[in-house]
Structure 1
């Protein structure tokens, strides 16, 4: 939370702003490969229009991905090989889509855990410019050197956070032991 009196404020009122920050890893490319032992390929005669060509040759292909139970059936072409390639490509696309959706959900959950709702009850630190004050609400620390903190002198803040973190860890280990 930032509290300041803007230069454009004629009556000297304090304006309050909030910001949330999330530090997340870059999303990696998902590499997906179908392993031969994870798929079962079945061939059969296709149905529908096509006459003798369809009725007498095993040109339809059905591919089962055993771990997920996903089934793809292809009987578009007259060639079994082309139908097999097409079915494998469709299966790969579907499985990749599921994997991407899972990664996106995991990423969103990680982000939400860092920023929460962004509401007033979740404030971590207040920067009060009129009073030259920084307050860290998690550890109850108030410093009257906002100008130095804004210039990057965070040593006091960091050391106080480290002491509080160590105390919290000791308290947790004592309660579990």
Structure 2
């Protein structure tokens, strides 16, 4: 669903809460859109596929229960099944049943998926450095990250 753009604040750094929040959202969206455009151009991955590869690459044994990934990434189970299907069709991941609980299905990286996830991580690191950290400076970038971590922790439902 397309997001409705926030009205432009009257000043570049508005002090009223609505303008401040609009600037946070617009800054994040513009930066995130630039990252995902580069990911799509370089690797032909959409946002959900890229996020899933990175989550699997950072998981123990490069595998996670599909339901856990869907929950963490806020996908519907049906929507995530389609993401998993695309990744398995490309040979980047595969499904595996849990040996202890047959109801649990893991999604795990293949060797090709692990290699692509590493390349993806390197690209995103370079992009984040150039369009986030270098723009804000290391100290301000760290402050923004800490503030967002605090907001996430306080507002998760």
Name the structure with the higher helix share: 2
Name the structure with the higher strand share: 1
Q: TM-score, normalised by structure 2?
A: 0.23
* Larger-gyration structure (1/2): 1
